[in-house]
Structure 1
Amino acid sequence: MKRRLVEYTSSEEEEEETPADEQPRQRKRKLPTLSTSLTVPAPVDDPALHQGRVRTVPHVEGQYATYIYVPLVLHHKDALYTLVEDALSLAKTQVPFLHAIGGQEHAQVKPVRWELHISLSRPLFLRAHQRDGFKRAVREMASSIAPFDASFITFSELTNDERTRNFLALEVGAGHGELCRCLDFLGPTLRQLRQKEFYVDPKFHTSIAWALMERTPLSSNLAAASLSVTGELDETALPECSAPEEQQARSASPSVIGQSSDNFHRIPHFPHTLVPSLNEAYAAKLSQARTGGFVVDRISVKIGKDVFTWSLSGMK
């Protein structure tokens, strides 16, 4: 007896089996949108909040603006405190819209102290993983250098790299060689991190005031081509204070002070008589050790918003 073959429909014959190791494709699902409360907004550069100052280097997430400096605090009873205060009063008769640095100044209240600094680096920019190693390098430098005496010798006018601000400064005389030694210790670390070193012929100084400079079409080219002379900290690196309100209300010579379209007063440069008049009035007293002298016994580094300070503890 013959058996009949089982008949299959055409659809059954064409059906293919799915291999066991091949997973069926699934549609990708979109992740839900993060709540606005969990997102960190990018910093907004608003010159109106900083007396017309602008961020010269764009903000980059995960990058920390860094500065090395010698902190210098002048208390109310210090002779240098009085000299700086008197010098600023004289300077504002020629540049009414001068902004003082380092004091929490109000219209009728004197600052309790001036918090100044002497820069030992250009503005640096570190990634998160570089911070600890950089702090370690500065700490090792501090442990290798002994405290030393220094003093200021003269008033000077300096300009930042971007040609956006003029600074009124006190230049260091005694102690220049020891500060250069600090730079020698920092050099290998900066080169390893591919950061710019300090200037070839540094003018160590502390800035006591600044003024906005007039904008010019050539300012960006000059900044790129010129040798920097200030090494100033970033716009928000250390606290700065505005000139008193009564000083801001005073008029000035049109040839010296101008008001730009953004309502911030700018100058082409300090009056040529400003620095000579300050040196004539105060340089002799400034150069005296009991007035312009100070001890360098600490080194600070500011990384982002954090400040770290180490005492100099090396042997002489």
Structure 2
Amino acid sequence: MALVQYSESESESEPDSPQRPTKRPRQTSNLGNQPSSLPPLPAAFHDLYASSTRVSVRDDPSLHGGRKRVIPHVEGNWPTHIYLEWYPTKEELSLLSQLIAQMEGQLDDHGTKLHSLLHSDLGARLPLHISLSRPVVLRTEQRQPFLEEFQAAMKQSNLSTFDVTLQSLDCVSNYEKTRWFYVLRAERPEDDGLNRLLGLSNQCLSQFEQPPLYELPQDAIASPKANDTRVAQADGQTRNDYSHCFHVSLAWSLTDPSSRERGQIARIHLRKVHELRIRFGCVKVKIGNHISSIPLRSGV
């Protein structure tokens, strides 16, 4: 439900209204300096308000900082995304904001503008994420079967909660080369949780004729060089290692940074960033505006 903002003139009584009550002086309070006694919001609360309000039924880049819609809006098609979600704390947000400012300072003055992904246009804090799929499209009749298939695969995998640390800065483009994202690369976690989740996601997507994320073409997988990217698993099997691909996007731009700018960004000091540990306890599946949260198993 959207909030309606009234102007001050609408919220006050007319000057000539009879028996107008006298305004009491506003009392100040120091409660803002005290820790809140209210319990934190449940994680599922954020899923209810994760989608922004649609301001146009057409693709209008002027409404979105110059961005163009990658997936056209078509009746009966449902944009779908699988990902891990991270809500940084205030301290973490402050650190990441400083990092974005440092990256912006390393860009030569040729019109490159960074758009932060930490806050909305209205200043609200936004979640960050690690993608486990491309932005894909499901048809209406595929939504429920796909979700049930992925939930079943997750349950059978018996994957546990895991931590992720961040290692380096980089700049990557989307598949269409229309936007460039300034990202923090993720370290490969214990038990290889990111690769395992990616494998589940790609496997389920392939059953619905959707493209995989990061996966090599079949001819590349068959080449001897591809053996360098494979990792052994506890069950004796091997799978491709895409640990170098997983990342958290912090900001974006419409222009590609130069090789010199990339080098300057890569040399930014990240000691405090390396100390961050991000705990992931569930996988999010967003189909249209509906978000399902699939928990990982607690404990080891």
The answer to whether the superposition gives a TM-score over 0.5 is yes
Say which SS state the counterpart of residue 148 (structure 2) adopts: helix
Q: Give the Cα separation in 1 of the matches to 2:67 and 2:124.
A: 25
Greater shift, 275-284 or 200-209, is seen at 275-284
Instruction: Please list every run of 5 or more consecutive structure 1 residues that lacks an aligned counterpart in the other structure.
Output: 1-41, 214-268
Pairing partner for 1:277 from 260, 264, 267: 264
Q: CA deviation at 1:274?
A: 3.7
| Corresponding position of 2:131 | 119
Native 8 Å contact 2:281 2:298 kept in 1: no
Q: How many residues align?
A: 211
Query: Which TM-score applies when normalising by structure 2?
Result: 0.64
TM-score after normalising by structure 1? 0.61
What is residue 64 of structure 1 aligned with on the other side?
Answer: 78
1:142·1:298 contact (CA, 8 Å) conserved in 2?
no
Q: Distance in 1 between matches of 2:253 and 2:125?
A: 21
Q: Which runs of 5+ in 2 are unaligned?
A: 1-55, 216-240
Q: Please identify, of 69-78 and 133-142, the stretch whose mean Cα deviation from structure 2 is larger.
A: 133-142
Q: Which residue of 1 aligns with 2:252?
A: 210
Give 2:60's aligned residue.
Answer: 46
What is the distance in 2 between the residues matched to 1:45 and 1:191?
28
**Whole-angstrom CA distance in 1 between matches of 2:266 and 2:212:** 31
The 2-side partners of 1:286 and 1:126 are apart by 37
Deviations 1:91-149 (A, max 9, x none): 2234462101141356xxxx564410100001111011111122223333443211012
What is the percent sequence identity of the aligned residues? Answer: 29
Q: Is the 8 A contact 1:67 1:302 kept in 2?
A: yes
Q: Deviations over 1:282-304 (max 9, x none)?
A: 3333223xx2x211211101111
Q: Find the aligned partners of 1:142 and 1:296 in 2 and give their Cα distance.
A: 14
Structure 1 match to 2:69: 55
Structure showing greater Rg: 1
Partner of 2:96: 84
1:313 alignment partner in structure 2: 297
Q: Output the CA distance in 1 between the equivalents of 2:288 and 2:183.
A: 25
Task: Read off the aligned partner of 2:282 and give its amino acid letter.
Answer: R
Given the alignment of the two structures, is residue 198 of structure 1 paired with residue 213 of structure 2, yes or no?
Answer: yes
Q: Is the 8 A contact 2:67 2:254 kept in 1?
A: yes
Q: How far does the alpha carbon of each residue in 1:158-215 deviate from its partner, in whole angstroms, 9 at most, with x for none?
A: 01111111110011113282111012223332121111111126401111111113xx
Q: Over the residues paired in the alignment, what is the CA RMSD in angstroms?
A: 2.3
Distance 2:287 2:174 in 1: 21
Instruction: Report the counterpart of residue 101 of structure 1 in structure 2.
Output: 117
Q: Which residue of 2 aligns with 1:246?
A: none
- What code does the residue aligned with 1:204 have? F
1:201-238 deviation digits (Å, cap 9, x = unpaired): 6401111111113xxxxxxxxxxxxxxxxxxxxxxxxx
Residues in 2 aligned to 1:127 and 1:301: alpha-carbon distance in whole angstroms: 15
Supply the AA of the counterpart residue of 2:295: S
**Correspondence for 1:129 among 124, 137, 141:** 141
The alpha-carbon distance between structure 1 residues 209 and 101, as it changes in their structure 2 partners (threshold 3 A), is same
Q: Is the 8 A contact 1:152 1:172 kept in 2?
A: yes
* 1:127 counterpart letter in structure 2: R
C-alpha distance in structure 2 between counterparts of 1:275 and 1:313, whole Å: 39
Are 1:152 and 1:174, in contact at CA under 8 Å, matched by a contact in 2? no
How far off its partner does 1:43 sit?
Answer: 2.8
8 Å contact from structure 2 (residues 71, 79) kept in 1 = no
